[in-house]
Amino acid sequence: MKNLNFKNSITAFLLIASAIGFSQNKSSNTVSLDVFYSKIQAEKKPQIIDARGPEEFALNHINGAVNFNLESKNYAEQIAKLDKTKPVFTYSIGAGRSVWLADELLKNGFKEAYSLEGGIANWIGSGKPFYSNSKSKLTLAEYNKIIAENKDILVDIGSVYCGACKKVKPVLETIKAQYGNNLKIVEIDLEDNTQVIADLKTIKVFPTLILYQNGKIVFKKEGFENLKKEVDVALAVR
């Protein structure tokens, strides 16, 4: 009966998520990167769950993680293999699926379950150890060269699987249409440039927008709210 209830709650969650998208949720079980990492280090064989889709997991993931796809038919069976007496560490692209999963595990008798604040963006963006199946198209040296060679440059760092990152694109198009060649826009996705995001050691969430002028950071913002306005203000006072 417990497995059936767990499966039903998964189905309900997926129906809601498909309608509104995965949000950047928080709960009492969402912990900072430092706490998440230290707790993992304290375990001999940490139970780390990547709650993203299998295609996302195949591209990159935390070392030692296993993929528990919420949409898989044997999801409940995968959960049943976990040790309820030991901590479970969950993460996703942000803090949507992983928060829900950690809360659901606790409801179903698990002693400890933690979701990583900022998800995979925070982990890789802080330079923690990870697996990637491809080499970054852009190196840190090349990134720094682009910054140095352009007077005004706006960098968009995100993921093709991030809902909020997709909403940035039309804003960038509006900015590009207004400023043309006077403002260089560089888009860096996790899937193509995992290592350079790790090397920057400054990304905690997707999307992150950074505006440089003459090689110096004018602003760095998490999320795209008021992005156009902030770019206009910065470029107006050059």
Q: Output the pLDDT for position 33.
A: 97
User: CATH number of the domain at 140-236, please?
Assistant: 3.40.30.10
Q: Output the pLDDT for position 85.
A: 97
Q: Output the pLDDT for position 9.
A: 52
Q: Output the pLDDT for position 22.
A: 42
pLDDT digits (tens, 9 = 90+) for 85-95: 999 999 999 87
Q: Output the pLDDT for position 16.
A: 37
Q: Does domain 2-132 have CATH number 3.40.250.10?
A: yes
- Kindly list the domain boundaries of the chain, sorted by start residue: 2-132, 140-236
DSSP string, the chain: -HHHHHHHHHHHHHHHHHHH-------TTEE-HHHHHHHHHT-SS-EEEE-S-HHHHHHEEETT-EE--TT-TTHHHHHHTS-TTS-EEEE-SSSSHHHHHHHHHHHTT-S-EEEETTHHHHHHHTT--EEESS--SS-HHHHHHHHHH-SEEEEEEE-TT-HHHHHHHHHHHHHHHHHGGGSEEEEEETTT-HHHHHHH----SSSEEEEEETTEEEEEEES-TTHHHHHHHHHHT-
How far is Cα 20 from Cα 39, in angstroms, rounded to an integer? 32
Q: Output the pLDDT for position 3.
A: 53
How far is Cα 96 from Cα 104, in angstroms, rounded to an integer? 12
Q: Output the pLDDT for position 126.
A: 96
Laid out side by side, the sheet with 88-91 consists of 30-31, 113-116, 88-91, 47-50, 66-67
Q: Output the pLDDT for position 166.
A: 95
**Average pLDDT per 10 consecutive residues for the chain, totaling 238 residues:** 51 40 61 97 97 95 92 81 96 88 92 96 97 94 97 97 95 96 96 96 96 96 94 85
Q: Output the pLDDT for position 1.
A: 52
Q: Output the pLDDT for position 94.
A: 80
pLDDT digits (tens, 9 = 90+) for 171-217: 999 999 999 999 999 999 999 999 999 999 999 999 999 999 999 99
pTM as predicted: 0.86
How far is Cα 62 from Cα 129, in angstroms, rounded to an integer? 7
Q: Output the pLDDT for position 28.
A: 78
